[in-house]
Amino acid sequence: DFVVSGTSSSSSLDDTAITNDLKEWYHALRNTKAILLHCIAVGLGMTDDPNFFVKLHNENNDALRLLKYPPGNVTTGNRCKEHSDY
């Protein structure tokens, strides 16, 4: 359901607390997704099945990526060149 990978063993923070916070945030985002999809269906007048889109997106295939980029400086320039995140 929820996997944490790529954690650093040199972290001075409590990994369990971080994992629990991330789980809570992840589930809050999934809840928000369901609410927004429900609202879209209602807004489109789909009163016969207001959870139409929620059911279409109810597979547990969401991804939450926390990326940490090294700090730049004034000579670094634009570090966000053409790329894809998939």
Supply the pLDDT for residue 73. 74
Q: Are 54 and 34 in contact (CB under 8 A)?
A: yes
Supply the pLDDT for residue 13. 55
Q: 53 to each of 26, 59, 61, 67, how far by Cα in Å?
A: 19, 12, 15, 29
Q: Are 50 and 38 in contact (CB under 8 A)?
A: yes
Non-local (6+) Cβ contacts of 58 within 8 A are 34
Tens-digit pLDDT string for the chain (86 aa): 566 665 554 454 567 888 888 889 989 999 999 999 999 999 999 999 999 999 999 887 888 777 777 777 777 666 666 666 65
What single-letter amino acid sits at 48? D
The pTM assigned to this predicted structure is 0.63
Supply the pLDDT for residue 66. 78
Distance CA 83, CA 12 (A): 32
Supply the pLDDT for residue 47. 92
Distance CA 53, CA 39 (A): 10
Supply the pLDDT for residue 9. 47
